[in-house]
């Protein structure tokens, strides 16, 4: 059986653990951003995060700056008869 990961690592001159770390890093940030964009009904961003992989930079920008959902706060007043 051919070990493609070792071949890739040796051809790039990058240790295998670095490649695995980058892959896990990307997967975690992408999953969080996709979850938040789906929760906030941002379909276009969900598709972008699914199709584009740039070391999780767009995902982090979305999570920290654009995903904050505004909550409507309503003031409740009670009317009591005296």
Summarised one tens digit per residue, pLDDT across range 46-77 is 888 788 767 677 778 888 887 776 555 555 56
**pTM over cut 0.85:** no
Phi-psi region of 78 (alpha: psi -120 to 50; beta: other; left: phi over 0): beta
Average pLDDT over the chain, rounded to an integer = 78
**Token pair for residue 69?**
């959902």
Give yes or no for a contact between 63 and 36, defined as CB atoms under 8 angstroms apart.
Answer: yes
- Please tell me the predicted confidence (pLDDT) of residue 3: 76
Question: What are the extents of the domains in the chain?
Answer: 15-66
Place of tokens 């930079």: 57
Rounded CA-CA distance 27/30 in Å is 5
């Amino acid at each position: 059986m051919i070990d493609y990961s070792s071949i890739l690592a040796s051809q790039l001159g990058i240790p295998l653990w670095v490649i695995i770390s980058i892959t896990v890093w990307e997967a975690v940030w992408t999953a969080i951003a996709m979850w938040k964009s789906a929760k906030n009904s941002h379909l276009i961003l969900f598709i972008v995060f699914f199709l584009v992989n740039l070391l999780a930079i767009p995902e982090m920008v979305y999570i920290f700056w654009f995903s904050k959902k505004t909550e409507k706060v309503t003031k409740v007043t009670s009317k009591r008869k005296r």
